[in-house]
């Protein structure tokens, strides 16, 4: 069975090493996958990459796609730990036969075309309706879109088709966790842990389920077990941050998220989560600082723009909040909630007439009320 997208990355270290002093003829990331499929050992691939470097540091989605296509942990570790100058490159490799779709998804995710990746996997599901891996990957892509109904349906299909697969149970538990289905999350997590007791991913998934059940001590114990198995995985510390936050332990929540950021400085989600911890405690300045760092890493990201606008509003920096909301409305002009927040910031700044116009524009877009 093809290695599942999301769980293969869970066992990988997130620290990075220095790039070679001189990279000669850098390797495009798709070549790494080609070598893996051609049968090169992980040691051969790692040595080649350390000598030559990569044309670009791939994003996490690309590591996941490599994993889905069968690349093992050593290969992906080599990709992750090698730095080189960022240059544009185009995908050219085609995988053989029934795995073509995996490489198509790799390319689409690399260029942030989630809709294209979803269309690819939807078409593949029609061709391979009894392939559990297809349903697992579909569930993961639906999770990116936060389409929990689709993700749950696909994870359930995968579990029914491959009940012996620990990753099917792990994926279903994760989907249930985000869907707030408490009993499902716990039940599937326990199956995953029983089938993979030495896999840190299994203990992380169990920790999520225990946190959802408000069994916080057990959640922290599961994270500790995962840490013993792989102390270099940043999601352990982010998960601890979430648990401490729910326990009301602000100091330890901050420390845990800071540790996650130190280990994976490119993960904008960690900055946003830490900012929310600060905001809940009234530390708007620190929240804004973290969100600005996230914005530098992912400019134009709607979720970050909204969070920054809200943080500025909470900190009574109304002009800055107006700027963030207006930028967000350019990306999502139909976002009713953003218009309401913009109007709130405008009124707070003494621009009541402009706030009224913003809300009138919103009403006009909604159209006249239907006759009763």
Residue 140 in any domain: the answer is: no
Q: What is the total count of domains within the chain?
A: 3
Residue indicated by tokens 């999502």 = 332
Tokens of 26: 């850098």
Do 244 and 328 belong together in one domain? no
pLDDT of residue 12: 28
Do 83 and 1 belong together in one domain? yes
Separation of alpha carbons 204 and 227, rounded Å: 9
Residue 279 in any domain: the answer is: yes
Residue indicated by tokens 């009224």 = 356
**DSSP assignment letter at 281:** T
CATH of the domain at 253: 1.25.40.10
Do 18 and 91 belong together in one domain? yes
CB distance 277 to 255 below 8 Å = no
Residue 291 in any domain: the answer is: yes
pLDDT of residue 80: 55
Residue 350 in any domain: the answer is: yes
Do 5 and 81 belong together in one domain? yes
pLDDT of residue 191: 97
Do 12 and 38 belong together in one domain? yes
pTM, whole model, 2 decimals? 0.70
pLDDT of residue 118: 92
Residue 212 in any domain: the answer is: no
CB distance 11 to 77 below 8 Å = no
The secondary structure of 100-157 as a DSSP string is HHHHHHHHHHHTT-HHHHHHHHHHHHHH-TT-HHHHHHHHHHHHHTT-HHHHHHHHHH
pLDDT of residue 89: 29
Mind spelling out the 3-state secondary structure of 234-279? HHHHHHHHHHHHHHCCHHHHHHHHHHHHHHCCCCHHHHHHHHHHHH
Tokens of 341: 């927040």
Torsion sign, CA atoms 25, 31, 32, 34: negative
Residue 53 in any domain: the answer is: yes
Do 250 and 278 belong together in one domain? yes
Last residue of a domain, which of 79, 112, 145? 112
Q: Coil, strand or helix: which one is 347?
A: helix
Half-sphere exposure of 124 (CA within 13 A, CB side): 24
Residue indicated by tokens 């000669």 = 24
Separation of alpha carbons 113 and 107, rounded Å: 8
Residue 89 in any domain: the answer is: yes
Q: At what angle do helices 336-348 and 352-366 cross, to 10 degrees?
A: 170
Do 251 and 353 belong together in one domain? no
Half-sphere exposure of 212 (CA within 13 A, CB side): 22
Q: Which residue in 162, 217, 213 sits closest to 192, CA to CA?
A: 162
Do 105 and 29 belong together in one domain? yes
Q: Which residue in 134, 133, 113 sits closest to 122, CA to CA?
A: 134
Do 104 and 3 belong together in one domain? yes
Q: Which residue in 301, 338, 300 sits closest to 321, CA to CA?
A: 338
Through-space distance between the first and last CA atoms of the chain, rounded to whole angstroms: 56
Separation of alpha carbons 321 and 94, rounded Å: 46
Last residue of a domain, which of 83, 112, 141? 112
pLDDT tens for the chain, 372 residues: list them: 443 333 333 322 222 222 233 335 656 655 666 565 555 665 666 666 666 665 444 444 455 555 554 555 555 555 555 444 333 223 333 333 456 677 677 667 656 678 888 999 999 999 999 988 889 889 988 988 889 999 999 999 999 998 998 888 999 999 999 999 999 999 999 999 999 999 888 999 999 999 999 999 999 999 999 999 989 888 899 999 999 999 999 999 999 999 999 998 888 889 999 999 999 999 999 999 999 999 998 888 888 999 999 999 999 999 999 999 999 999 888 889 999 999 999 999 999 999 999 988 865 554 444 343
Do 295 and 334 belong together in one domain? no
Q: Which residue in 7, 15, 61, 54 sits closest to 31, CA to CA?
A: 54
Expressed as residue numbers, the domain containing 13 is 1-112
Do 91 and 57 belong together in one domain? yes
CB distance 118 to 109 below 8 Å = no
- Helix, strand, coil shares of the chain as percentages rounded to 5? 70, 0, 30
Residue 122 in any domain: the answer is: no
Do 266 and 334 belong together in one domain? no
Last residue of a domain, which of 84, 112, 140? 112
């Amino acid at each position: 069975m093809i290695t599942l997208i999301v769980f293969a990355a869970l066992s990988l270290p997130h620290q990075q090493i220095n790039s070679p002093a001189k990279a000669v003829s850098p390797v495009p990331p798709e070549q790494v996958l080609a070598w893996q499929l051609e049968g090169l050992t992980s040691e051969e691939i790692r040595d080649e990459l350390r000598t030559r470097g990569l044309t670009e540091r791939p994003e996490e989605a690309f590591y996941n796609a490599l994993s889905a296509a069968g690349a093992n942990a050593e290969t992906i570790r080599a990709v992750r730990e090698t730095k080189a100058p960022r240059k544009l490159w185009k995908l050219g490799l085609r995988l053989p036969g029934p795995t073509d779709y995996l490489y198509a998804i790799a390319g689409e995710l690399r260029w942030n075309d989630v809709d294209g990746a979803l269309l690819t996997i939807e078409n593949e599901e029609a061709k391979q309706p009894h392939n559990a891996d297809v349903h697992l990957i579909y569930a993961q892509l639906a999770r990116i879109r936060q389409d929990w109904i689709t993700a749950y349906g696909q994870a359930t299909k995968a579990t029914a088709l491959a009940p012996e697969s620990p990753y099917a149970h792990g994926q279903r538990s994760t989907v249930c966790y985000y869907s707030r289905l408490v009993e499902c999350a716990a039940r599937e997590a326990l199956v995953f842990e029983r089938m993979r007791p030495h896999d840190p991913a299994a203990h992380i998934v169990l920790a999520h389920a225990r946190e959802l059940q408000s069994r916080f001590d057990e959640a922290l114990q599961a994270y500790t077990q995962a840490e013993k198995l792989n102390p270099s995985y940043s999601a352990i510390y982010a998960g601890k941050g979430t648990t401490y936050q729910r326990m009301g332990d602000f100091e330890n929540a901050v420390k845990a998220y800071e540790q996650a950021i130190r280990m994976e400085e490119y993960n904008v989600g960690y900055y946003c989560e830490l900012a929310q911890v600060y905001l809940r405690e009234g530390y708007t300045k620190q929240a804004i600082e973290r969100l600005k760092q996230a914005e530098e890493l992912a400019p134009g990201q709607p979720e970050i723009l909204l969070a920054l606008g809200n943080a500025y509003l909470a900190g009574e920096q109304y002009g800055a909040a107006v700027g963030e909301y207006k930028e967000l409305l350019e990306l999502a002009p139909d976002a009713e909630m953003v218009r309401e927040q913009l109007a709130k910031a405008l009124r707070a700044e003494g621009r009541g007439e402009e706030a009224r116009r913003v809300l009138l524009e919103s009403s006009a877009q909604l159209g006249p009320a239907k006759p009763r």
